[in-house]
Structure 1
Amino acid sequence: MARTKGSVGADTKTAIYSAAKKLIEAKGFEAMTLRQLAAEVGVQPGSVYRYVESKDELLQALMNQHMVSLIENWEKLEGKGDDPVSRLKAFVAFHIRYHIERRADVVIANLELRSLGEDYRADVVTKRSQYEANLRNILSDGVKAGVFPKVDLEVAAFAIIAMLTGVCFWYRPDGRLSIDEIIEVHQKLVLQGVVG
């Protein structure tokens, strides 16, 4: 088999991760084999092990990449606002836009967590909780300020994130509504849900 462009070093690792996302999204993690992955990248099957120890390690790496990027992008987002309502609207907009633009990452991070072995799962779950804490803090600040009613913050955060993440599973660029319109609808739904 001829070596593909970028089939050495960091380029190969990037190609492996990119191909893995594509294959997992299309076939599911359990159905994807490292042999298929090697063929997709254009390397010998045994070469994959130079870059990943196992399928589980590869899945954890993909999930961690997604979670680290998600956390970092939220933290550096400007213009979130100072009050809880503005911050909640900013969170809704950020979450929807980020997830729509990275559908494969979302499919893997949400649908394949069940496939991740226990040895690798804790780290990913910790990062998820760290991201979700941003929303819980916004809701908590809103409760303290008297603009949101008292609510179980963990349940509310899970419900909101599930609704927002779900958008990437049905959104189509050629659909009836633009991303901005979908964000506006969800901002209203979330605010109505927490304000009452």
Structure 2
Amino acid sequence: MGRPAGVNGADTLRAIRKAAVSRIYRHGFEAMNLRELATDVNLRLGSLYNHVPQKQEFLASLLEGVMIELLGDLDARMAGLTDPMKRLECFVQFHIEWHTVRKEETFIGNMELRSLSPPQYEKVVAMRKQYEAHLRKILIDGEKAGLWKLEDKAVTTLALLSLLTGIGAWYSEEGRLKQQRLIKIYQRLAKQLLGVSVKA
């Protein structure tokens, strides 16, 4: 079965990526079968190879694409903000919104780095460090402004990211707390971690 009428190559690739994310999330990258992936998107296996000529390269492209979207969305959200406290609140909100809506991409982005070749791994990790550096800059600027004091910039950055990213492992839209309520809680937790006095 070839490409349906009216569907272009970009649409097909987006469908393949979406199906691959779902399949990797459920079964893991090593267990992802290209024949089954082709069936998911209504393609012949030969047609799938036009878009996925090499499985590991496809995973690298997938993870790089996720990071490009994450960094672009973050830059757009933070544009124009200068006050470190506002930037911290905005970062927390953005991180939770993005990582709960894109839960599957977040999961495979953390779990499947191990499946990349060393050069692919280094490229994706370098992009992750750009995201980390954005938060570290907020923390450093806040310390310079006298809003908080950092015992160790790197450790505090990683601790805060771990706190925020963990929500993706258990958050559910059907859960007891809605996303906006969780954002408020996590904004308070982030400030408390930095030693900022928070009103009850």
Q: Same fold (TM over 0.5)?
A: yes
Which whole-Å CA distance do the structure 1 matches of 2:80 and 2:113 have between them?
30
Q: Distance in 1 between matches of 2:189 and 2:180?
A: 14
**Deviation larger for 80-89 or 19-28:** 80-89
Alignment of 1:41-190 (within 5 A): 41-77=41-77, 81-190=81-190
AA at the equivalent of 2:4 = K
TM-score, scaled to structure 2: 0.89
1:5 aligns with 2:21: no
User: 1:56–1:120: 8 Å Cα contact kept in structure 2?
Assistant: no
Mark the runs of 5 or more structure 2 residues left unpaired by the alignment: none
The answer to whether the Cα contact below 8 Å between 1:84 and 1:142 also exists between their aligned partners in 2 is yes
Task: Report the identity percentage.
Answer: 40
Q: Which runs of 5+ in 1 are unaligned?
A: none
TM-score by length of 1: 0.91
1:80–1:86: 8 Å Cα contact kept in structure 2? no
- Give the direction of change, closer, same or farther, for the CA distance of 1:116–1:72 in structure 2 (3 Å limit): same
CA RMSD in angstroms comes to 1.9
Amino acid at match of 2:43: V
Once the two structures are TM-superposed, the CA of residue 86 in structure 1 deviates from its matched residue by 1.5
Counterpart amino acid of 1:137? Answer: K
Letter in 2 for 1:143: E
More deviation, 178-187/73-82: 73-82
2:36 match:
36
The number of equivalent residue pairs is 195
Further displaced range: 76-85 or 23-32:
76-85
In structure 2, distance between residues paired with 1:144 and 1:104: 37
Q: Determine helix, strand or coil for the equivalent of 1:32.
A: coil
Deviation of residue 79 (structure 1)?
Answer: 7.2
* Structure 2 counterpart of 1:193: 193
The one-letter code sitting in structure 2 at the alignment partner of 1:188 is R
Say if 2:78 and 2:91, in contact at 8 Å, map to a contact too.
no
Indicate conservation of the 8 Å contact 2:88/2:138, yes or no: yes
> What are the Cα deviations for residues 1-33 of structure 1, in whole angstroms up to 9, with x where unaligned?
x33637762222122111101100110111112
1:63-101 deviation line (CA, Å, top 9, x unaligned): 111111111111111577432121111100110011111
C-alpha contact 2:78 2:90 (8 A) present in aligned 1? no
Once the two structures are TM-superposed, the CA of residue 62 in structure 1 deviates from its matched residue by 1.4
1:24 and 2:24 equivalent?
yes
